[in-house]
Structure 1
C-alpha cells in the first residue's frame, strides 16, 4: 500500500513529477516512458503514482496543457492597439505561434506519434471536451477585443475556433503539402486568413 503524504508533500511531489515527466516524455515519448521510470525519478513507489494521477496519459496531458498555455499567453498579452499595422502584426503573431508549435517537442509528439489517439482512448471524454472548450474560450476573449475595435469581421466564435484549430494543425500535413513549399504555403495561408477576417480600411 502506498504511504500517505501530507498536503505539503503532495504539492512538492506533484510539482517535481511534472518537471521530471516533461523531461522523460520529451526524451523518450509517451509510449516508452513507464510509470516505474516516472516514480523512480521523484523517489516514490510506483503505487504512489495514483495518488497524483489516474494514468501516465493524464500526467502527459497536463504537461501538454502547460505547454499550450505559453502559446496562449502570447496571444493574451498581444496589444493590437500599439501596432502601427494591425493586420501585419497579427500575421506575425500567428506565424510566431505556428513556429512555437512546430519547435515544441511534446506538442510535436502529440501530433505525429499518434499520442492524440492514445489520449482519446485513455482520458475521460469530459476532460478532452473541457480542454477544447477552454481553447475556444481563450480564442473568443482575444477575437472579441479585435471585434470591439472594429477591425475584425463578425464571424461565429465556433467557426473562428475551428479555423484557427485547422491552421495550427497544418504541420500534420507537411508531407502532403510538400516540405519544399510548406513555409511559403503556410505564410500565404496566414495572409489569406487575416486578409479575409479583417475589415477593409475605408
Structure 2
C-alpha cells in the first residue's frame, strides 16, 4: 500500500472530488468508471480505495459539495432582498435555475440520489465516514421564519420546506412533450409559475 503524507492525502482526495464532479456531470454516475477517475487524477485504481470505499462513496461526497454550494447560493441571493415575498421569489428562481443547468443538482433534488446512495452504502456495510449524518434531506433555512409571519399562508415549516422542494420538479417540464421548446419560452413559463406561487403563499398584496 502506498504511503502518503497528510498533505498528499488531502490533495489527492480533493482532486478525486473535482474529477468526480466533472466526470459525473459529463457522463453520469453509471457511465463513469473508477479507472476514469484515477486516470484523471494520475493514480492507480487500487489507490482510489485508500480514499473512498466505492464509487458510490465518492459520488455522495460530490453531491454533498454540490448541495452546500447550492445552499450558499440561495443564502447569498436571499440576503440581497428586503421582503419575505422577494426571498421566496429569489429562492425559487435560484433552485429552478440550478436544477436546469446542473445535472448533479437535478440528481440530488429531483431524483433523490443522495438518500438512495446513503441507503445502498449502509446496506453494503461500508463505514461511509460521516456520510450517515451529513447526507440529510435538504432543508430550507428560511421556512421556520416564514411560518411565523402573519401574512404567510402556512404555519408548518416542514410543509413549507416540502412544498418548495416539490416545485423543483417543474424544471423537468421542458423535457416533456408539452414543455416549452426554447430557453426564452421556458423562462416565461418559469417566471409565471414563480409569481403564481408567491402570490398564493402570501395573503393580501
TM-score of Structure 1 vs Structure 2, range by shorter chain: 0.7 to 0.9
Gaps of 5+ in 2: none
Alpha-carbon spacing, 1:49–1:72, altered in 2? closer, same or farther (3 Å) = same
TM-score, length basis structure 1: 0.75
What root-mean-square deviation, in Å, do the aligned CA atoms of Structure 1 and Structure 2 show? 3.4
Task: Name the count of aligned residue pairs.
Answer: 194
Partner of 2:104: 106
Gaps of 5+ in 1: none
TM-score, length basis structure 2: 0.74
Note if contact 1:58-1:123 (Cα within 8 Å) is conserved in structure 2.
Answer: yes
Q: How big is each residue's C-alpha offset from its partner over 1:29-50, in whole Å with a ceiling of 9 and x where there is no partner?
A: 2122111121122222212212
1:60-71 pair list within 5 angstroms:
60-71=59-70
1:195 aligns with 2:186: no
1:61-100 pair list within 5 angstroms:
61-77=60-76, 78-79=78-79, 82-83=81-82, 86-88=84-86, 90-100=88-98
Note if contact 1:111-1:172 (Cα within 8 Å) is conserved in structure 2.
Answer: no
Q: How big is each residue's C-alpha offset from its partner over 1:42-89, in whole Å with a ceiling of 9 and x where there is no partner?
A: 222212212211211221222122222222113223227x53x64245
Which moved further from structure 2: 29-38 or 68-77? 68-77
Partner of 2:55: 56
Partner of 2:33: 34
Whichever structure has more helix as a proportion of its residues is: 1
